[in-house]
Amino acid sequence: MSKKIILPVILVVIALGIWLFLDNTNSEPTNLKTESNPISFNTPKKSAHYETNTPAHGSVLAAAPINIVIDFNFDLAPPSSISIIKDDVEYGVGDLQIDSDKLAMRRNFNPAAPNGLYKVNYTACWPDRSCHEGHFEFAIDHFLALNYQEINENEVTIKMSELMFKPRDIKIKPGTKVTWVNDEVVEHYVNTDSHPDHTYYPAQNSQALKTGESYTILFTTNGIYPYHCSAHASTMTGNILVSD
């Protein structure tokens, strides 16, 4: 190759390199936009006698929760309250309810709530009329439902095997009967969140299930139902998404 040709070739290669570098730099913000933006959660504040809550602080749900439930280790009393706010709009529905054992309080949630970050502010009051405040956050991202297995049957079976719920995350229609069957030697449970209070949707709490034993409930109300096995609470988890 003669020197006359080599110089233009080198210049073209350098120009191409600069163009590729600039193009990569330019395309970065576009890539970020197409991925779902990570949500940053503020530090929660726990009131006196607080134990757990559902949805969990920092959780991202594939649909609106049916209610917000907060658990305590002391008797709740009026005038306790729960408020769920996004963009200055209240998404709590109806009055606060204190459970009959007085250890949990709950408020229904607007099923039409859009994607985004929700802040839960609560006031927990005791029989002596003293009150304490706390707060936590969760988010809704309906796009997560794309990862759910959609099952359009009247009856669905979820196996408990290899320390997992199979399938783990399912989407069903209201009016679907779900049966959990224990397929292995170790005992399992079906427990609604949170752990260990199991208060979010109390109908979804089974006794210990031995090999071959099953538990069945009917889901009638739209929303997300996070659950776990209380014997393997940190790893054996699942979600039922009910949507018509």
CB nearer to Cu ion: pick between 176 and 230: 230
CB nearer to Cu ion: pick between 142 and 232: 232
- In the complex, the smallest distance separating the C-beta of residue 237 from Cu ion, rounded to whole angstroms, is 10
Q: Any idea what DSSP says for residue 82? A: E
Of all residues in the shown chain, the one whose CB is closest to Cu ion is: 229
What is the C-alpha to C-alpha distance for residues 176 and 173, in angstroms, rounded to an integer? 6
Token pair 């054992």: residue: 101
CB nearer to Cu ion: pick between 229 and 240: 229
What is the C-alpha to C-alpha distance for residues 25 and 35, in angstroms, rounded to an integer? 17
User: For residue 29, how many other CB atoms are within 10 A of its CB?
Assistant: 8
- In the complex, the smallest distance separating the C-beta of residue 198 from Cu ion, rounded to whole angstroms, is 14
CB 68 within 8 A of CB 106: yes
- In the complex, the smallest distance separating the C-beta of residue 196 from Cu ion, rounded to whole angstroms, is 14
**DSSP strand pairing (191-192 vs 104-109):** unpaired
- In the complex, the smallest distance separating the C-beta of residue 194 from Cu ion, rounded to whole angstroms, is 16
Q: Phi-psi bin for 10: left (phi > 0), alpha (psi -120 to 50), beta? A: alpha
Q: Which pair of structure tokens corresponds to residue 72?
A: 């305590």
CB nearer to Cu ion: pick between 110 and 205: 205
The residues that touch Cu ion, with contacts defined as CB under 5 A, are: 188, 229, 231-232, 236
- In the complex, the smallest distance separating the C-beta of residue 160 from Cu ion, rounded to whole angstroms, is 6
CB nearer to Cu ion: pick between 114 and 196: 196
